[in-house]
C-alpha cells in the first residue's frame, strides 16, 4: 500500500532505487562472514593516535575557529597543502583551482548538479564506479559506454562513442573501481587527444593513485593536460576536472576530499555546494591539516602501501591455488580491488548466495555495467581482511566456485 508520502516524491527519485544486491550485501555484515565486498580501508591502519593528538591541539589552539562555520571553498591552509602535495605529482595548480568537498562522492553529486540535464549522455568505462552511476541517476543521466581491457578504457572504441555527443567523459585511470586495472600512458594521451578533438571535457576520478604496490607512477590525465597548456600559467584552465580524497590515504570517516578544476568550474561548484551543505566540516578540515603536516601523510601512505601490497599478493597467490581453471582475474598494480571473471554459464549473484552460506562475500559485477552485462563477473576487495582471513576466504570461495562449475577440486 502507498503511504501518503510516496506520491509526493519528486520524479527524479524514481531512478534512485536500492538494488537487490545491496539487500544481499546487508547479509555480509554478519560478524562471522569474511567479506571481500566493501571498498573499505583496513581499520588497523587508521592513524587513531595522530587524530587524538590533532583533535586536542586544534581544540586547544583554534577551538573557536574549528567549531565555527567556514568558507565553502575550504580551509585555505589545507587547500595550500593539497596544492603542494599534488605539485609533487606534477599537477600544477593554485588554491583558486581547488574546492574541498565532503568526500569525492559529494564532488560527483555536485558535478551532476552543475553539468547534467535530463537525457544528457555521459561517456563511462564499462564497468565503472557504481557510486557515480547512482549519483547521476537522479539528474537523469544516460550513458554511452566504452569497454575495458587489461590496459583500461579501450581507446580504439572511444572515437565512435564520442560521436554520440557526450556531455563529459568519466574515467578512473588508476587501479579502477571495480576492476583494479590501470589506464596505460599511451591511452591516457590518446584519451586527451580525442577529448580535445571532439571538445568533450574529462572528469578524472583518482582516489587510489597514491596506493601503488608495483610499477612506476603514471602521470594523471590532468597533469598531461596541463602540459599541453601555456607553461607560464600557474592557474589550471584546461579540459579536465580531477577528483581525489583523504578516504583511502587517511580515513573515510572524516568525509574529506578535493576537486581540481578551472576557476569557473570551481565557482559554479561552490554555488552548488552552498545549497548542499554550506561547507565541509571545519573541525575535520583543521584536524586533517594537523594530522597531515610535517611529512606524516607520506610516512602513512608508505605504511598503507606495505600492508595492502602484502594483502594483494596473498590474495593473488590464494586465487592461483584455490580457484578452478576457467576463472580469470586481474592483477592490479595498486588500489583496493581485483576483478574476477567466471565461466559464462555462471551467474555471480547466484554464486554470492551460496558463498554467503559458506560465510564469504564479494560484490557481483553486473551493477557496475550501466548498460547490462557482466553477469559472470565479481569485484573482490583485498584491503580489509587480514592475510589469514584472505587465505581462508578465498579457499571457501574457491570451493563454492568449484562446486558450481562442476569441476572436481584440485588437490
Ligand X SMILES: Cc1ncc(COP(=O)(O)O)c(C=O)c1O
Q: Which residues bind ligand X (CB under 6 A)?
A: 39, 103-105, 129, 131, 172, 177, 205, 207, 245, 247, 252, 257
Least distance CB 236 / ligand X (angstroms): 20
Closer by beta carbon to ligand X, 322 or else 337: 337
Nearest residue relative to ligand X (C-beta): 103
Least distance CB 210 / ligand X (angstroms): 13
Grid cell in block for residue 409: 577440486
Grid cell in block for residue 231: 607553461
CA angle 105, 106, 112 (to 5 degrees): 95
Least distance CB 56 / ligand X (angstroms): 25
Least distance CB 257 / ligand X (angstroms): 4
Over the Cα atoms of the chain, what is R_g? Answer: 22
Least distance CB 258 / ligand X (angstroms): 9
Interatomic CA distance for residues 285 and 342, integer angstroms: 43
Closer by beta carbon to ligand X, 180 or else 398: 180
Interatomic CA distance for residues 35 and 306, integer angstroms: 21
DSSP E strand stretches across 114-222: 121-126, 142-149, 152-153, 168-171, 202-205
Interatomic CA distance for residues 39 and 278, integer angstroms: 28
Least distance CB 389 / ligand X (angstroms): 21
Closer by beta carbon to ligand X, 146 or else 257: 257
Rounded (10°) angle between helices 296-322 and 387-405: 30
Neighbours of 56 (CB within 10 A): 12
Closer by beta carbon to ligand X, 109 or else 120: 109
Grid cell in block for residue 297: 601523510
Closer by beta carbon to ligand X, 135 or else 316: 135
Closer by beta carbon to ligand X, 247 or else 292: 247
Closer by beta carbon to ligand X, 97 or else 176: 176
Q: Answer for the pair 22, 10: CB distance below 8 angstroms, yes or no.
A: no
Least distance CB 125 / ligand X (angstroms): 11
Interatomic CA distance for residues 228 and 207, integer angstroms: 24
Amino acid at each position: 500500500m502507498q503511504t501518503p508520502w510516496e506520491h509526493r516524491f519528486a520524479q527524479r527519485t524514481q531512478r534512485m532505487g536500492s538494488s537487490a544486491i545491496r539487500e544481499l550485501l546487508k547479509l555480509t555484515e554478519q560478524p562471522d562472514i569474511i567479506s571481500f565486498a566493501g571498498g573499505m580501508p583496513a581499520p588497523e591502519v587508521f592513524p587513531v593516535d595522530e587524530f587524538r593528538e590533532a583533535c586536542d591541539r586544534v581544540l586547544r589552539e583554534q577551538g573557536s575557529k574549528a567549531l565555527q562555520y567556514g568558507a565553502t571553498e575550504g580551509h585555505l591552509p589545507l587547500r595550500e597543502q593539497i596544492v603542494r602535495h599534488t605539485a609533487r605529482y606534477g599537477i600544477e595548480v593554485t588554491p583558486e583551482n581547488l574546492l574541498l568537498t565532503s568526500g569525492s562522492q559529494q564532488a560527483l553529486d555536485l558535478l551532476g548538479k552543475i553539468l547534467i540535464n535530463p537525457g544528457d549522455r555521459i561517456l563511462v568505462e564499462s564497468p565503472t564506479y557504481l557510486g557515480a552511476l547512482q549519483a547521476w541517476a537522479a539528474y537523469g543521466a544516460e550513458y554511452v559506454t566504452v569497454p575495458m581491457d587489461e590496459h583500461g578504457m579501450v581507446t580504439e572504441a572511444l572515437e565512435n562513442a564520442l560521436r554520440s555527443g557526450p556531455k563529459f567523459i568519466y574515467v578512473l585511470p588508476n587501479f579502477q573501481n571495480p576492476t583494479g586495472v590501470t589506464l596505460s600512458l599511451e591511452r591516457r594521451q590518446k584519451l586527451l587527444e580525442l577529448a580535445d578533438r571532439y571538445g568533450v571535457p574529462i572528469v578524472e576520478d583518482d582516489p587510489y593513485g597514491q596506493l601503488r604496490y608495483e610499477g612506476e607512477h603514471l602521470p594523471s590525465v590532468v597533469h598531461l593536460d596541463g602540459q599541453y597548456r601555456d607553461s607560464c600559467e600557474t592557474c589550471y584552465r584546461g579540459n579536465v576536472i580531477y577528483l581525489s580524497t583523504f578516504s583511502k590515504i587517511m580515513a573515510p570517516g572524516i568525509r574529506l576530499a578535493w576537486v581540481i578544476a578551472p576557476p569557473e568550474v570551481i565557482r559554479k561548484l561552490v554555488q552548488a555546494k552552498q545549497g548542499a551543505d554550506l561547507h565541509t566540516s571545519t573541525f575535520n578540515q583543521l584536524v586533517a591539516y594537523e594530522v597531515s603536516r610535517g611529512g606524516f601523510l607520506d610516512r602513512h601512505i608508505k605504511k598503507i602501501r606495505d600492508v595492502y601490497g602484502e594483502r594483494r599478493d596473498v590474495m593473488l597467490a590464494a586465487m592461483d591455488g584455490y580457484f578452478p581453471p576457467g576463472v580469470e582475474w586481474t592483477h592490479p598494480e595498486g588500489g583496493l580491488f581485483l576483478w574476477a571473471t567466471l565461466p559464462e554459464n555462471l551467474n555471480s549473484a547466484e554464486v554470492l548466495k551460496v558463498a554467503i552460506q559458506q560465510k564469504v562475500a564479494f560484490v557481483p559485477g553486473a551493477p557496475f555495467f550501466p548498460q547490462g552485462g557482466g553477469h559472470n563477473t565479481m569485484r573482490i576487495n583485498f584491503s580489509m581482511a587480514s592475510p589469514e582471513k584472505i587465505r581462508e576466504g578465498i579457499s571457501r570461495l574457491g570451493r563454492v566456485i568449484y562446486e558450481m562449475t562442476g569441476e572436481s577440486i584440485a588437490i
